[in-house]
Amino acid sequence: MNAPTLLLAALLVSANADAGEVQVAVAANFTAPMQRIATEFEKDSGHKAALMSGATGKFYAQISHGAPFEVFLSADDETPARLETDGLAVAGSRFTYATGRLVLWSPREGYLDDKGEVLKKGDFRHLAIANPRTAPYGAAALQVLGKLGLQPALTPRFVQGENIAQAVGNKFIKLQLELGGKDPTYVCEDADPKAAAESLADGAMYNTGQSCCSVERIYVHEAVHDAFVQHFVATVNGMKRGDPTDAGSYVGAITRTPQLAVLKAQVDDAVAKGATVAIGGQVLPGPGNWFEPTVLTNVNHTMELMREESFGPVIGIQKVSGDEEAVALMNDTRYGLTAGVYTRDEAAARALLSRVNAGSVYWNCCDRVSPRLPWSGCGDSGVGLTLGRQGIQTFTRPKAWHLRQPA
């Protein structure tokens, strides 16, 4: 396998050349050196490089849908080429800024051999790789393991750490990470569709959907689906959009400009796969970053909208046949921050919520946090916990005192 090649491309954006700041998307593996380069660039030119680091694949999706980056430092050579083919990068601007290689590393001195035979022995618990869906080095690692015939045996041992965890893991620093969510709620057959719709519309649109525990996907029993959607759309339609300092405004602007492209990409993907836009769906003119409060129906799990975090005023509503389908869909995610159930039956709610993988669960409510209760997540929603007595204890270390009175 060829060593991964890191390419830089200039992107086609509408920008002011005299603005004094350039927007740079940089692959996560090159963040540290790029920060030093940006510092020197500012010293030499007087201009600032505003950096955003992340996975190459995610940057491709954001740039394709209008994210205003002007320079892209990719972790492979394929993505910049695709952007140029798509007409989104300046033709001929690509060049190789570094050539990388995969390295097998262990903190245990003398554990590894120069041929990687340790991979075949398998006397280890975990093998950390970058996310192969979005990071070229993760994909390259899978290629190597596949060529060695080891991928099937080692796949159960894969762990895909996030950047912060990787940075502090070998320093034995206590860590709490909340890494996102795709928070589901199920509206049962016996629920009041109007009351549930009004509550969940608030849970989805509060703070313009920019809350860690915002409702991000809703499953509604077919018996109450149509009535629920009608009341939900009416509630969202009645929310005033405007200046957040105005007491009458309920939905405001998006905090980060690149997030507009993420939201638009999710809506476009859903519509292309058969979803119906019941309300909204468009980026609005500024000043500021505005996206219409958006409700989509006829959605399913082939759509990014129902699988990846939105973090904005966008929600999908899916009709389900009953409890079993609802629970299966709620758990069909790599996240597990919060989840909720709307039903008149407390025992039924307890039974359903006990089967859902989430750190916090709600019965007939949503999008709330209590300082008395621990706050945590499952899966890619993070590690560790905060709040409550347990959250405080996470960052404390007990000391044992053994005392004896002198004779």
Q: Of 369, 368, 21, which Cα lies nearest the Cα of 203?
A: 368
Q: Give, in degrees to the nearest 5, the angle at Cα 287 between 281 and 288.
A: 65
Distance CA 394, CA 240 (A): 41
Catalytic choice (70, 188, 212, 292): 212
**Residue of 201, 182, 392 lying closest to 308 (CA atoms):** 182
Longest dimension (CA), the chain: 87
Dist CA 365 CA 346 (whole Å): 13
Record the tokens describing residue 94, joined without a space: 């690509």
Structure tokens, 48: 């600032």
CB contact at 8 A, 313 and 204: yes
**Token reading at 10:** 């200039």
Retrieve residue 213's tokens.
């525990």
Confirm if 386 and 394 have CB atoms less than 8 A apart. Answer: yes
Long-range contacts of 284-287 (CB under 8 A, 24+ apart): none
CA-based end-to-end distance of the chain? 73
H helical segments located in 346-400: 346-353, 388-394
84 is catalytic: no
Cα distances from 332 to residues 71, 157, 307, in angstroms, run 36, 21, 8
Say how far apart CA 190 and CA 352 lie, in whole Å: 14
Question: Catalytic one among 70, 178, 216, 308?
Answer: 178
Can you tell me which residue has the tokens 């990388």? 100
Where do runs of H (alpha helix) occur along 287-387? Answer: 323-330, 346-353
Q: Known catalytic residue: 178? A: yes
User: What amino acid positions are annotated as catalytic residues?
Assistant: 178, 212
